């Protein structure tokens, strides 16, 4: 009996060890961009080009690594929690990104999504369109945080109607998420 108990305790200790070889081999699920560092400034190129802002409204290039085992697709949601709306502002929503995708090129979020991988779809943002809408915070509102969150999903495709709101997509994304990676860019309107 003591041998069985001791063997069981040893097995639990090995499984729970934070530096076990299997934990190190998998790596951490990460999202990066060559255009900006985490908590660094978003380039003006990524800013909106209306409402008094003069950027190029080009979505930044993004890359990711080490998604969790069992990932069947990805969804990307970009949100500004600092927007003075009471609920923040959705800037970009992309879903049904195939599981073998590891990056999005700069400008992938343009109207029509020609730069997106086959099968990926853009959801409607708070700008009212299904495309990337860059930062354009109100003058004098300080630095805003733009959270690029990539979700690893347990489903190949989200079952949502065309034209679904960002909130509906977010509900379905969170319900099917098995992991997420976040990258935050900062932007402050200069005038």
Residue 46 carries which DSSP code?
G
pLDDT in tens, the chain (191 residues): 444 434 343 333 333 334 433 334 468 999 999 999 999 999 999 999 998 899 999 999 999 999 999 999 999 999 999 999 999 999 999 999 999 999 999 999 999 999 999 999 999 999 999 999 999 999 999 999 999 999 999 999 999 998 899 999 999 999 999 999 999 999 999 87
| 104 strand-pairing partners | 62
Distance in angstroms (rounded) separating the CA atoms of residues 79 and 19: 34
142 dihedral zone (left: phi>0; alpha: psi -120 to 50; beta)? left
- Among candidates 88, 52, 70, 90, which has minimal Cα distance to 169? 90
Cα–Cα distance measured from residue 48 to residue 51, given in angstroms and rounded to the nearest whole number: 8
For the entire predicted model, the pTM comes to: 0.85
Count of CB atoms situated within 10 Å of the CB of 111: 11
Fold of 26-187: Phosphatidylethanolamine-binding Protein (3.90.280)
The domain limits of the chain are 26-187
């Amino acid at each position: 009996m003591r041998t069985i108990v001791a063997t069981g305790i040893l097995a639990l200790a090995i499984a729970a060890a934070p530096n076990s070889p299997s934990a190190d081999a998998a790596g951490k699920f990460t999202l990066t961009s060559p255009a900006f560092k985490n908590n660094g400034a978003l380039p003006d190129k990524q800013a909106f080009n209306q409402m008094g802002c003069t950027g190029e409204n080009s979505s930044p290039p993004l890359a990711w690594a080490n998604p969790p085992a069992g990932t069947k697709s990805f969804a990307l949601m970009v949100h500004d929690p600092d927007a003075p709306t009471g609920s923040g502002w959705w800037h970009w929503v992309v879903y049904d990104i195939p599981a073998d995708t590891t990056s999005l090129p700069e400008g992938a979020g343009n109207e029509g999504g020609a730069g997106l991988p086959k099968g990926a779809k853009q959801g409607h943002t708070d700008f009212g369109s299904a495309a990337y809408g860059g930062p354009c915070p109100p003058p004098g509102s300080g630095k805003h945080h733009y959270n690029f969150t990539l979700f690893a999903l347990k489903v190949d495709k989200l079952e949502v109607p065309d034209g679904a709101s960002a909130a509906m997509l977010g509900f379905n994304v969170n319900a099917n998420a098995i992991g997420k990676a976040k990258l935050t860019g900062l932007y402050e309107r200069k005038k």
